[in-house]
Structure 1
Amino acid sequence: MSDTPYDEHFVSWFRAVTPYINAFRGKTFVIAFGGKAVESEFAKTLAYDVNLLVSLGIRLVLVHGARPQIEEELREKSLESIYHRGYRVTDAEALDCVLDAVGSVYLEIEAMLSQGLPNTPMANSRIRVIGGNFITGQPIGVLDGIDMQYAGKVRKVDAEGINAQLGLGNIVLLNCEGPSPTGEIFNLQMEEAAEAVAVAIKADKLVYLTDSQGVTDKAGELIDAMTSDEVAELLSGGEWLSPDIRRYLPCSVRATRTGVGRVHLISYEQDGALLRELFTHDGVGTVVTRESLENIREAKPDDIAALIALIEPMEEEGILVHRPRELLEREIEHFSIMLHDGIIVGCAALYRHSDEEAELACLAVSHEHREWGYGEQLMKRIERRARKLGIKRLCVLTTRTEHWFVERGFKLGTVDDLPAQKRDMYNYQRRSKVLFKTL
């Protein structure tokens, strides 16, 4: 019998991350980071965390930059760093510095991922790191009369080749160099290369390690989640944002709008930030998702007829409580709606019952669109609306979908746990299950 004391916190933590482990197995993540992250004090532990992700069955592509290392190479050769529109003007001498710096950083990362010392998280690991000419570059050309020379953009990504390596369990490690069909090499922006790779291989997540905890508001408070539309609006100003964030956000918008599931922005200066972002409910950075005003928005009085057509069949089945048209007209501002090709295919409502408690109600998606994830998007929309109002706890009453809500973080409660206003209105004939979620 072991004398080791029972660690209740360890056991509960391990159980809490299990749903994430199950959800992420077999998924594809692209993790992008600049040269500063490689120089940070947590570079070695980042390698440990990457090893852990691979051990959990996650398919990983790493894309690295080398900006500070290139700057150092230029200084040593007494060459000036020249930028235009955020791109480095790269002549032949600067390109030599780029190649030396990028090659050195690549080997450093490869060495960190090859560790296997006993008594470290890398013990017994068998990570294979694969590089190659998976990215083809092309010249930017002349911008505003300035010849950018060997500064380039991504022309093509060999998605088939990358996926083949991922299928073998290998990590694909890519840098910010892009050879061209003519045999020239172009200096790419790391963030754009990572975006192009993530889109090409249809990555589930793109993670940028940045010089900031994530996207912050003017007061310096972290914004935990944003839509691509909200990011685009922020970029019209946002002068307080860090240099990394300003470079990465446009890529985040484009990536989410062209098929990447989520883009995460986290700090490389916070030990374990990658794991905490991926395996905890609240995360530690900012996540950007596609949801746009073209697909989901708040309901308007003109939507009432279509809303009735959507929910009437579910009311007749007893799934939803009947809502007369007069009631919908009075409460239309509580509803958010999901549209597909301009047609309302889903809805959800938020009712506030106290300063810190509210109800998610009337969550409904048309039968033809229930496999598209619209229900979860609507739920998250309501959660964001609730957070902005300062709501701390969300309740939901359901007769048919208890497990669906439990799988998304809600916990079973009782009628007595409801806010007084809602408890007094509870319909004991329907015997709805009562669930809660802490925001």
Structure 2
Amino acid sequence: MSSTHPASLINNPTPFVQWLRGVAPYVHAFRDKTFVIAFGGELIEQGRLEDLVFDVSLLKAMGMRIVLVHGAHPQIESQLSLRGINSEFANGMRITSAQTLEAVKEACGALRLSIEAVFSQGLPNTPMAGSSINVVSGNFITAKPVGVLNGIDFLHTGVVRKINREAINSQLAQGQIVLLSPLGFSPTGEVFNLSTPEVAAAVASQLHADKLILLSHDNLVGEDNATIPELDVEQARAMSEQMPLGYFLRQCLSASWIAVQSGVPRAHIVPVDTDGALLLELFQHDGVGTMITKNLLETLREAAFDDLGGILQLITPLEENGTLVARGREKLETELPFFSVIEHDNVILGCAALYPFPEDKMAEMACFSIDPDMQGMGLGERMLAHMEKRARKQGFKELFVLTTRAAHWFLKHGFAAGHVDDLPADKKRMYNWQRKSQIFIKKIM
């Protein structure tokens, strides 16, 4: 049997091994968890369905319970064009006439068959090789009409009334992927056209899902044009209200905060145009999209004993390359009360220690470290502000640091160059002339 492994992997397997070890905790944490994943019909129009199905199949193989909700906007528009029917919208919603509803049903039916067909692939030399994944669709959604709003009758446009939670959970328990179209049914047999993000939010809320994931062609970006990594419910609500009605990203953002407010722990808006974005968002700590939670997951606090391992993981590489003075585990344990940490989602991303010199009204900020993968995201500035506040609270008037590599950063943040003679007497006696650390001092009162 010939090997198909790339030569680079054979010659240097270390990055792959490290990556696999890095994702293992996520695989363990996500097993048996329920994910509701929604995507628009644009993804299918662009020929990206197979990639998504492969990634979803990988999640399923890892033991995750998957509900998929597909959209159909471009396919509906195509069907309407074939029938010579103009689209009508009001308040950001489609007005669904009887003729439009037929186009909606045609588009959704064809899409559902296409998605099921891709999941049925099991060809050798594809990511689906050897897979056996069943996809189940059905009348799981009970809906009601939007009705008349501001004098406009939305006809067959509806909103979700109820999700058949028991039936969906039964299918998930049997190992099926549940596929939902943006259609709902009334007890009298009527069919209603629904919003894909609204369906996804309702399903996630009523299933008590662990995650709602919405794939969007637009990113949530801040003033610096960089993706916003995290929002709480109130921030998400405020941002959504500033967006135009009918804007898909607004619908995703609204669905996210509503789901989180209803008890879903986390919602994610993920840039579908990034290859493998679903996997990158789930298996990388910082992800590639925007996560919405009830409360922001980042905390700045004084260190506890359980943080010891995380601190060691941060500072050991810096001790080994000489950036920090080596402490050793026992010394670190005794000095732990001096430390503060930045924690995000139970991962320590930054630390610093505050050593007091009360007779001189000075404190030393030492062991200042930020995870290399998170540098440039403002964590250092937040840690510095926290340490200054902690020092002021203890009555110190000056904060000083000794550094061999970060002189520019401290100058940029209000420190002034100092001399050994400016240090407290006890620190002056301990100064290591071989390291020749630069001294920077900042007045904080």
* Distance in 1 of aligned mates of 2:52 and 2:366: 41
**Compared with structure 1, are the counterparts of its residues 350 and 89 closer, same or farther at alpha carbon in structure 2 (3 Å cutoff)?**
farther
Tell me what 1:231 maps to. 236
2:199 to 170, 189, 193: 193
Q: Which residue of 1 aligns with 2:286?
A: 282
**1:75 is the counterpart of 2:67:** no
Q: Is the 8 A contact 2:352 2:366 kept in 1?
A: no
Which ranges in structure 1 are unaligned for 5 or more consecutive residues? 300-317, 323-333, 337-348, 360-382, 396-415, 425-439
Q: Which residue of 2 aligns with 1:121?
A: 127
In the other structure, the counterpart of 1:387 is 379
Cα deviation for residue 114 of structure 1 reads 1.1
Q: Tell me what 1:94 maps to.
A: 100
SS of match in other structure, 1:62: strand
Paired with 2:23 and 2:229, the residues of 1 have a C-alpha distance of: 19
**CA deviation digits over 1:178-200, x for unaligned, max 9?**
01101000001011000000000
Distance across 1 between alignment mates of 2:379 and 2:165: 39
Structure 1 contact 29–59 (Cα < 8 Å) conserved: yes
SS at match of 2:11: coil
1:45 alignment partner, one of 51, 54, 67 = 51
Q: TM-score, normalising length from structure 1? A: 0.68
Q: Deviations over 1:188-240 (max 9, x none)?
A: 1011000000000001000001012x31113421101111111122234356x
Shift of 1:9: 1.5
- 1:387 aligned partner, one-letter code: L
Q: Answer whether contact 2:31 2:63 (CA < 8 A) is retained.
A: yes
Q: How many residues align?
A: 339
The answer to whether the 8 Å contact 1:141/1:149 transfers is: yes
Q: Which structure would you say has the larger Rg?
A: 2
Give 1:390 deviation, angstroms.
6.5
Task: Extract structure 1 runs of 4+ deviating beyond 6 A.
Answer: 295-299, 349-356
CA–CA distance in structure 1, aligned partners of residues 259 and 184 of structure 2: 20
The separation in 1 between residues aligned to 2:164 and 2:380, in whole angstroms, is 42
Whole-Å separation in 1 of the counterparts to 2:135 and 2:276: 21
Q: Which aligned pairs between 1:252-267 and structure 2 lie closer than 5 A?
A: 252-267=256-271
Indicate how the Cα distance of structure 1 residues 356 and 104 shifts in structure 2: closer, same or farther if over 3 A, else same: farther
Q: Say whether residues 1:216 and 2:221 are aligned partners.
A: yes
CA contact (8 A) 1:157 1:196 kept: yes
Kept in 2: contact 1:138–1:180 (CA 8 A): yes
For the 8 Å contact 1:358–1:391, the answer to whether it is kept is no
SS where residue 389 of structure 1 aligns? helix
Q: Aligned pair in 2 of structure 1 residues 222, 187: CA closer, same or farther (>3 Å)?
A: same
Q: 1:106-255 counterparts in 2 under 5 A?
A: 106-212=112-218, 214-238=219-243, 243-255=247-259
AA partner of residue 70 (structure 1): I
Q: Which amino acid aligns with 2:255?
A: C
Q: What letter is aligned with 2:110?
A: S
Task: Indicate yes or no: 2:25 matched with 1:19.
Answer: yes
- Read off the aligned partner of 1:139 and give its amino acid letter: P
TM-score normalised to the size of structure 2?
Answer: 0.67
CA distance in 2: counterparts of 1:135 and 1:117, whole angstroms: 33
Q: Counterpart in 2 of 1:65?
A: 71
Structure 1, residues 102-144: CA drift from partner, whole Å, max 9, x if none?
Answer: 1011111111111110000100101010111111111010011
Give me the whole-angstrom Cα distance separating, in 2, the residues matched to 1:351 and 1:84. 57
2:269 counterpart SS class: strand
Q: CA deviation at 1:55?
A: 0.2
SS of 1:123's equivalent? coil
User: Structure 1 vs Structure 2: percent identity of aligned residues?
Assistant: 41
Residues 132-180 of structure 1 show CA distances to partners (whole Å, capped at 9, x for unaligned) of: 1111111010011111110000010011111111111110000001011
Code of the residue aligned with 1:256 in structure 2: it is V
